[in-house]
Amino acid sequence: AMLYQVRGLMQRFTHHTRAAPLHRACIVATTRRPLLGGHICAPLQSAAVEATTTTLAAMAAPRNVNLLVVSGQDSPELEVLKQLPPTVTIVAVGRNLDDLAHLTPEQWDGITVLLNCGVGKNAGKRDDIRALWPKLRNLEWMHSASAGLEHLLFPELVGGPVTLTNAKGVYSHSLAEYCLTACNWFAKDLPRLRRQQAAAQWEPYDVEELRGKTLGIIGYGDIGQACGRLAKAFRMRVVALRRRVDLSAEEKAAGIVDDIFPPERLHDLMAASDYVVMATPYTPSTHRLVDAAAIAAMRPHGVFINLGRGKCVDEAALVEALQAGRIRGAALDVFETEPLPADSPLWKLDTVLLSPHCADRTKEFQFESLGFFVENMGRFVAGQPLSNVCDKRSGY
């Protein structure tokens, strides 16, 4: 009976440690409680308590982690890594094999986590990470400080056991702000204001409200939901496209989305919307998801906004529709080819609001992204589930 009670005690603590860290006081208090009403002989009770305490202490102790950071060494956001748990050791920071040539075989074998971060010249590139891969024999987890994965995935990563996480959700609010700015750009005809100001013309004109207009969201993930929340602040109607059409209890309580369309009803969403925002990641299934037929389904006064990836849209078909005046305009932060070629007709279209893939590039964005990684590392060392685990084969 005593053994069953000890076993039950350990099982309850084992279950508890999977959900939250154990406190030392909790362990001490439990081990001092007499088992079987205090009728266990002292040596046996001592052995049982010692075994239980040892097991629980091992469960509660944060693990030691050796971290490799693939980034330029002068990336300012690396300051955030000073907040990592004390059991984490940064083995090295570098972008490629040349930067990391000083590492010994033993150091390579000790690396269990890889962080890929940096912007521009400081960014870690897919080919460089792939060249490091054979040396990372004991890698368990790789984190990307970006949200998109199409420029990162390679066969050895996709097919292997390494867990991949990303920064999904970190950039959503800034992109949602861009979305509603784009809507107002057209609703208030801001280009006309600028032209009249430059010509010193006082010529009042009617403007539109966003209130009562419909925002159609293609891809109702973190970015799409953030766009929906801001649209509701303008009292817009929100419809969205995603595979799962049923609303969760939380979504119903939030009251953001008015209707959900399945993917096969993309044209219906396009036709029902005054503004359409593309917020999907790029995967084989989203390649040119918005094609000529989808664009043709838009309302004549419709505006197309792309915050996702340029290759999710048939750019040539979009240009043709804009040049012919079949839709009102477009706001584009992403393009099929980046940088956008100088000979692209998009540069010269007055009905296009164009930005160089910087709608989420705030001065804080990389710092916030690494802040999320630090939080996730806290989960990792505590043996808790990681947030933002990616489906490598699906590409997001």
Q: What is the pLDDT of residue 59?
A: 54
Q: Which helix (H) or strand (E) holds 372?
A: helix 365-381
Q: Which helix (H) or strand (E) holds 270?
A: helix 266-272
Set 338, 364, 375, 379: catalytic member = 338
Q: Is 210 left (phi over 0), alpha (psi -120 to 50) or beta?
A: alpha
Q: What is the pLDDT of residue 61?
A: 84
CA–CA dist 47, 51 (Å, integer): 6
Set 267, 326, 357, 361: catalytic member = 357
CA–CA dist 58, 146 (Å, integer): 34
Q: Please report, to the nearest 10 degrees, the dihedral formed by the alpha carbons of residues 307, 317, 319, 341 taken in order.
A: 70
Contact between 251 and 260 under an 8 Å Cβ cutoff? The reply is no
Cα-trace Rg, the chain: 27
Extract the residue ranges of the chain whose pLDDT is less than 50.
Answer: 1-49, 51-58
Q: Which of 273, 279, 301 is nearest to 214 (CA)?
A: 273
238: β partners? 215
At which residue do the structure tokens 């078909």 appear?
317
Set 143, 173, 237, 309: catalytic member = 309
Contacts of 394 (CB under 8 A, 6+ apart): 283
Clarify whether 15 is annotated catalytic.
no
Strands (E), the chain: 65-70, 88-94, 113-116, 141-144, 163-165, 214-218, 237-241, 259-261, 275-278, 303-306, 329-332, 352-354
Q: What is the pLDDT of residue 325?
A: 98
- Is-above-0.85 flag for pTM? no
Clarify whether 50 is annotated catalytic.
no
The distance from CA 349 to its chain's CA centroid, rounded to whole angstroms, is: 32
CA–CA dist 59, 48 (Å, integer): 17
Q: What is the pLDDT of residue 161?
A: 98
The distance from CA 152 to its chain's CA centroid, rounded to whole angstroms, is: 14
Clarify whether 357 is annotated catalytic.
yes
